[in-house]
């Protein structure tokens, strides 16, 4: 409007100039009287215009000042009397101002000058200040839910002087309604008595009907307590349909039915265990049923005696406390072996791959599979990118054999050799994060997995065949069992038999851990072929520097609740050495478990070992790792100090849970 007024004044000046020119013309043509009169009128008009312009300008200034004053008052009143909570923060996240509505949200708690992130825990301050996000949904404050809308205001040309306005919209009622609807929805639960046949065999014939009835009673009573629909569809399998509100209660109680079923004792020499799969969060009951099937398979693949809850892509684990008991049959080994022969025969080439930083079990398994494929007259390669200290002695002896010339290749060389008919056999690993090269895995359409680790959440899917047996001592044991079924009278070379036996020795710690009847049978088979135990001992020998470094790690150990925790010195960046130190710590009297940290670049690796009284797998799973009850590991991108604090807290929670 001011610009319009200026334009008006400028146009007046033009008119005045035109009038002046006309008066001069009149006077030029000797109309003196008319010219004088015109000059007087022109002077009067000029004075009037000047005074009028000053008056208009003064009035405009007063109007602007008055309007600005009213606008400031209106703005202040709006901020103070805004009908919803409002907070103003600085670029550092400190609270500069808030209205009364927000004060009520925090129950009149004084928060001025405090940082917003200390008050609203799950609110990303950086994203709000940087303008990357302007709406934050369902933020929980004092048991209420708010949508937070942000507005950035620059108070000067300097970006550091900007402030951020946070508007809070209460949608607690909506969230509660949605939660209520969600709780009324149903979940599919699949229950399987995973060792039913094995336990029943230990019971006298007369007692079997009673113990079967007791199992059914325990599971039926459990279903009734949850107001669940239950159907038995096989002798040891049940399906339940339960409302989500009851599932939440079971999660709080850690699915106590797992403990109840183990208490059944009517002449049985072994305890019954359950594998439970819960499917939740699906759009339809059919989708929940698929989640439940996947969850139960994962529970069985991890050794049973546990519950796995699958809600979309989210997985939660409960139980898994009992020691694994060997319950495999050679029937499965025979079926897998026959299927393997068919798949290999139908493939153009075969590639064998293990995990990152391969150990002797990984290498021995690969060599064992290669010996069979060679007998079947198929072109075969073993993919190996890294020959570390642990496998170097046995690897050097293997490559002395002329049959292994050009057998070992790296991932890059393998890329050009893969075709549509190629088969990839993955040994001693089944998870995407630990396999040697996931990029290479994705190139294959035909994949077979042989592994003995408990099934992880990121297992490689879309495979032709998988033989994952967490009850086996090692992958070398599984491969050894399959050999007689794949080829009649298998003729392994001595070095191949030694590689397999060395793999069994490594994972059982010389037959101390996870050894069953089948483990000794496999070892006996390899010994008959010619595996020399003295040669195997040489594979595990260490140089003086390695021995001293291991002693240095052990020296750093502290005892925490009967658990040894050691940290590798800065000059040691070797996960194998950390694992060896963790094993060695168990030889010290009074130590039930051990954890050894090693920092490599910006990551901390943890090796966990136990004598069986403490489940290191459950502890390290809480840190994003996994493994077995007596042997587990984890990898975190944190400082050692932070990881140590988290580990101790997790140990405390584990011990507290066990004492209940």
Give the 3-state DSSP-derived string for 257-291, with helices as H, strands as E and coil as C.
Answer: HHHHHHCCCCCCCCCCCEEEEEEECCCCHHHHHHH
pLDDT at 318: 86
H/E element holding 41? helix 32-80
Distance of CA 257 to the CA centre of its chain: 27
Q: Tell me, what DSSP letter sits at residue 324? A: P
What is the pLDDT confidence band of residue 7, given thresholds at 50, 70 and 90?
very low
Each residue's pLDDT tens digit, 597-647: 999 888 899 999 988 788 888 888 888 887 777 888 888 888 888 899 999
pLDDT at 427: 95
pLDDT at 93: 80
Q: Is the pLDDT of residue 156 over 70?
A: no
SS3 137: strand
Q: Tell me, what DSSP letter sits at residue 456? A: P
Q: Is the pLDDT of residue 31 over 60?
A: yes
Q: Is the pLDDT of residue 81 over 70?
A: no
pTM given for the model: 0.63
Q: Average pLDDT, whole number, for the chain?
A: 83
Each residue's pLDDT tens digit, 534-584: 888 888 776 678 788 889 999 999 999 889 999 999 888 888 788 889 988
Largest CA distance in the chain: 147
> Bridge-partner residues for 237, per DSSP?
192, 234
> Bridge-partner residues for 435, per DSSP?
355
Region 276-282: mean pLDDT is 92
- Let me know: does 640 contact 572? Beta carbons within 8 Å: no
Q: Give dist(CA 579, CA 595) in Å, integer.
A: 9
Q: Is the pLDDT of residue 326 over 60?
A: no
What is the pLDDT confidence band of residue 60, given thresholds at 50, 70 and 90?
low
Q: Is the pLDDT of residue 504 over 60?
A: yes
Q: Is the pLDDT of residue 387 over 60?
A: yes
pLDDT at 558: 92
Q: Give dist(CA 394, CA 439) in Å, integer.
A: 28
pLDDT at 532: 84
- Let me know: does 350 contact 373? Beta carbons within 8 Å: yes
Q: Tell me, what DSSP letter sits at residue 256? A: T
Q: Is the pLDDT of residue 2 over 50?
A: no
Each residue's pLDDT tens digit, 90-124: 878 888 877 778 877 777 677 777 788 777 877 77
């Amino acid at each position: 409007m001011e610009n319009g007024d200026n334009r008006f004044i400028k146009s007046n000046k033009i008119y005045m100039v035109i009038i002046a020119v006309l008066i001069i013309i009149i006077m030029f043509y000797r109309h003196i009287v008319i010219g004088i009169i015109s000059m007087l009128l022109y002077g009067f008009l000029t004075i009037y215009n000047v005074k009028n312009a000053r008056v208009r300008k003064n009035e405009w200034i007063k109007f602007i000042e008055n309007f600005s004053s009213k606008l400031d008052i209106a703005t202040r009143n709006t901020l103070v009397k805004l009908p919803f909570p409002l907070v103003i923060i600085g670029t550092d996240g400190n609270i500069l101002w808030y209205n009364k509505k927000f004060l009520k949200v925090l129950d009149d708690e004084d928060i001025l000058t405090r940082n917003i992130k200390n008050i609203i825990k799950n609110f990303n301050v950086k994203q709000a200040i940087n303008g990357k996000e302007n709406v934050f949904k369902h933020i929980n404050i004092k048991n209420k839910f708010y949508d937070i809308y942000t507005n950035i205001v620059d108070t000067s040309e300097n970006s550091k002087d900007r402030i951020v306005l946070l508007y809070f919209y209460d949608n607690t009622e909506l969230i509660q309604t949605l939660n209520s609807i969600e709780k009324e929805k149903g979940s599919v639960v699949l229950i399987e008595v995973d060792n039913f046949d094995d336990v029943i065999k230990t019971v006298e014939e007369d007692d079997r009907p009673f113990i079967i009835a007791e199992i059914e009673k325990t599971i039926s009573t459990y279903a009734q307590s949850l107001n669940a629909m239950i159907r038995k569809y096989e002798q040891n399998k049940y399906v339940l349909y339960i409302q989500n509100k009851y599932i939440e209660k079971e999660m709080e109680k850690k699915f106590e039915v797992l403990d109840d079923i183990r208490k059944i004792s009517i002449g049985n020499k072994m305890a019954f265990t359950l594998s439970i799969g819960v499917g939740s969060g699906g759009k339809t009951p059919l989708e929940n049923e698929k989640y439940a099937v996947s969850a139960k398979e994962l529970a069985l693949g991890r050794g049973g005696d546990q519950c796995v809850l699958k809600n979309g892509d989210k997985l939660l684990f409960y139980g898994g406390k009992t020691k694994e008991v060997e319950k495999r049959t050679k029937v499965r080994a025979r079926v897998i072996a026959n299927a393997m022969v068919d798949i290999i025969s139908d493939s153009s080439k075969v590639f064998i791959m293990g995990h990152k930083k391969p150990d002797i079990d990984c290498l021995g398994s690969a060599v064992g599979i290669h010996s069979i494929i060679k007998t079947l007259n198929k072109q075969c390669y073993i993919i190996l990118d890294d020959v570390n200290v642990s496998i170097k002695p046995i690897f050097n002896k293997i490559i002395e054999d002329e049959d292994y010339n050009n057998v070992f290749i790296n991932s890059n060389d393998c890329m050009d050799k893969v075709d549509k008919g190629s088969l990839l056999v993955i040994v001693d690993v089944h998870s995407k994060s630990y396999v040697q090269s996931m990029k290479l895995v994705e190139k294959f359409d035909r994949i077979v997995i042989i592994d003995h680790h408990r099934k992880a959440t990121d297992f490689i899917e879309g495979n032709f065949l998988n033989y994952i047996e967490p009850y086996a001592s090692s992958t070398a044991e599984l491969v050894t069992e399959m050999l007689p079924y794949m080829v009649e009278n298998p003729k392994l070379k001595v070095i191949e038999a030694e590689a397999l036996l060395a793999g069994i020795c490594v994972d059982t710690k010389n037959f101390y851990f996870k050894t069953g009847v089948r483990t000794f049978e496999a070892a006996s088979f390899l010994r008959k072929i010619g595996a020399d135990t003295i040669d195997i001992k040489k594979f595990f020998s260490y140089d003086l520097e390695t021995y001293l470094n291991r002693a240095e790690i052990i020296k750093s150990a502290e005892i925490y609740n009967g658990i040894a925790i050691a940290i590798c010195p800065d000059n040691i960046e070797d996960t194998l050495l950390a694992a060896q130190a963790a094993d060695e710590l168990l030889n010290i009297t009074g130590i039930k478990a051990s954890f050894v940290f090693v920092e490599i670049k910006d990551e901390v690796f943890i090796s966990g070992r136990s004598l069986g009284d403490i489940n290191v797998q459950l502890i390290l799973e809480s840190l994003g790792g996994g493994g077995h009850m007596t042997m587990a590991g984890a990898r975190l991108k944190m400082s050692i100090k932070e990881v140590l604090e988290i580990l101790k807290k997790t140990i405390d929670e584990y011990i507290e849970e066990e004492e209940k």
